[in-house]
């Protein structure tokens, strides 16, 4: 509102000054060229001030955004190094568009070979049927409950080795409790399960 009043008010004022200038030149009161009217200089100054302020604000916002992006990249790199060092994979599943993603470490944990693309159908095919039911039951419980997801299952890697996997995660909902996405971590617990089975 302030900007509108300033620009429109200044234009009206400078138009009145321009009209007075033209009348003074035509009546002979003022000896100056009719085509030169200093009133328009005021309009240009006001518009330049307003536009210059916008440009300065845009530059400041661009700098702030650049700094924020640098901090975000650094945080992502630290998190990636931490999960890789711990042998933990990250995963997410978009329940609206039925799209899934698994990090590189996660693919290795799940037994997917180098260069092997992630595919949810292939993932389920590599699971024993009983484990597939356990996983799907845990997903259903998370989506109908508080969203917390926690289970263990077996999967056969591309090398033919059976791996025990622990998966943890959380479902996210909109305000109507419609499930939007799930995300979490996976880690291999084969050694622990084999040790437990020998007790």
In b/e form, how buried is each residue of 123-136, taking b as 16+ CB within 10 angstroms? Answer: beebbeeebbebbe
The 8-class DSSP code of residue 36 comes to: -
Whole-model pTM?
Answer: 0.60
146 burial class (0-12, 13-18, 19+ CB within 10 angstroms)? Answer: exposed
Put the strands of the sheet holding 162-173 in their side by side order.
99-102, 89-94, 179-188, 162-173, 148-156
Residue pLDDT tens, the chain, 199 long: 666 666 666 666 776 777 776 777 778 777 766 565 566 666 666 666 666 666 777 778 888 888 888 877 777 677 767 666 667 899 999 999 888 999 888 999 999 988 888 888 889 999 999 999 999 999 999 999 999 999 999 999 988 999 999 999 999 999 999 999 999 999 999 988 888 888 6
Give the Cα separation of 31 and 192 in Å (integer). 100
Give the Cα separation of 48 and 87 in Å (integer). 57
What the block records as the tokens of 198 is 């020998």
How large is the C-alpha radius of gyration of the chain? 33
Give the Cα separation of 118 and 121 in Å (integer). 9
């Amino acid at each position: 509102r302030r900007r509108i009043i300033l620009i429109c008010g200044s234009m009206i004022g400078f138009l009145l000054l321009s009209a007075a200038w033209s009348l003074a030149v035509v009546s002979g009161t003022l000896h100056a060229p009719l085509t030169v009217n200093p009133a328009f200089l005021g309009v240009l100054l006001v518009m330049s001030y307003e536009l210059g302020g916008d440009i300065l604000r845009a530059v400041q916002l661009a700098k702030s955004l650049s700094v924020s992006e640098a901090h975000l990249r650094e945080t992502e790199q630290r998190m990636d190094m931490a999960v890789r060092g711990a042998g933990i994979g990250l995963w997410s599943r978009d329940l609206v568009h039925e799209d899934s993603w698994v990090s590189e470490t996660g693919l290795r944990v799940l037994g997917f070979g180098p260069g092997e693309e992630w595919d949810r159908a292939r993932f389920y095919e590599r699971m024993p049927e009983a484990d597939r039911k356990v996983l799907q039951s845990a997903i259903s419980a998370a989506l109908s409950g508080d969203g917390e997801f926690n289970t263990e299952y077996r999967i056969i890697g591309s090398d033919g080795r059976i791996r025990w996997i622990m998966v943890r995660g959380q479902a996210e909902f909109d305000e109507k409790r419609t499930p939007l996405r799930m995300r979490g971590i996976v880690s291999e617990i084969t050694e622990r399960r084999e040790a437990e089975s020998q007790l």
